[in-house]
Amino acid sequence: MGAFLCQAGQVLRAAGIEGPRMEARLLLAHAMGCRQEDLLRDPRAAVPPAAQATFREGLAARARNVPMARLLGHAGFWTLDLLVDGSTLIPRADTETLVEAAMDAFPDRGAVHRVLDLGMGTGALLLAGLSEFRAAFGVGVDRQPAAAALGRANAARNGLAGRAAFLAGDWAEALSGRFDLVLSNPPYIESAAIPNLMPEVALHEPALALDGGADGLDAYRRLVVALPSLLAPGGRAVLELGQGQEEAVVALARAAGLRRMECRPDLGGVPRALVLAGP
């Protein structure tokens, strides 16, 4: 096993992958159906032929910059473990900033009864919200039917299936009713900038979930005009922002009659979670 990990680490290092030894261990544990701790406890254990083949396939894919979460088939977000596939973005730690902002917006967790996630992807934001606002029922909407199916599977995986519904639709067009909390991580990358993103994103994330149009603001233009009719009295919307977008999105929101309550930075200091209130 040690020889496998050493060779794999060299392959990943040559491909420019950060933390090559750790990633090699993750791939081998996945191939063998065990935990990393098990590998560390028994470093001389034999690797069965079937696991060797799976490991080599995963190693070659990772060296081509296929994201680790795609190879493992799941990713952590907040306190959840979420299935991932090629139909949606892999949840990122920066997006957890929106959950923190939502919790601070509603110190009384029992005050939130209806949660909406627009452009839900894996369902990460919706399910994280439901895990914290335990009196709430949630609705997730995504234009990709495969994403709606994935969100449903993730709700079941995390014990939240009875408190959530998932729809395929174009933003809020098919919705009626009002929500205490609206969450959204829309596509916000400028179209021309997508090829210059890190390879894991540019080559392996779905373009529909990245492309925000020529200026990166297309999705926000649609979201802000829908929010006034979606927010219940006292409700809040929390939108994820790309770097440098705060001023432009706040201007769009104000033009739609919304009020800026907070813009919370992520751990890197980038203004990430914009909290808006209705008129």
In this predicted model, what pLDDT tens digit does every residue of 170-215 receive, in sequence order?
888 878 889 999 999 999 999 999 999 999 999 999 999 999 999 9
Residues 192 and 270 in one domain: yes
Residues 26 and 44 in one domain: yes
Residue where a domain terminates, one of 37, 64, 91: 64
Residues 137 and 266 in one domain: yes
Quote the pLDDT of residue 266.
96
Quote the pLDDT of residue 216.
97
In a domain, 69, yes or no: no
Residues 129 and 21 in one domain: no
Please give the average per-residue pLDDT across 217-234, as a whole number: 96
Residues 110 and 215 in one domain: yes
pTM for the predicted model, two decimal places: 0.93
Residue-wise pLDDT for 111-125, tens only, equals 999 999 999 999 999
Residues 42 and 120 in one domain: no
Share of the chain above pLDDT 70, in %: 100
Q: Which domain holds residue 7?
A: 2-64
Q: Alpha helices, DSSP H only, in the chain?
A: 2-14, 20-32, 36-41, 49-63, 68-72, 96-105, 124-132, 145-157, 199-202, 218-230, 246-255
Q: How confident is the model at residue 1 (pLDDT cuts 50, 70, 90)?
A: low
Asked if 120 and 151 touch (Cβ cutoff 8 Å), the reply is yes
pLDDT surpassing 70 at residue 153 = yes
Instruction: Tell me the β-bridge partners of 115.
Output: 138, 181
Residues 180 and 139 in one domain: yes
Q: How many domains are there within the chain?
A: 2
Residues 100 and 59 in one domain: no
Quote the pLDDT of residue 186.
97
Residues 120 and 212 in one domain: yes
Quote the pLDDT of residue 172.
85
Residues 233 and 172 in one domain: yes
**Terminal CA-CA length for the chain:** 62
Quote the pLDDT of residue 218.
97
Residues 88 and 218 in one domain: yes
Q: How confident is the model at residue 44 (pLDDT cuts 50, 70, 90)?
A: confident
Residues 35 and 97 in one domain: no
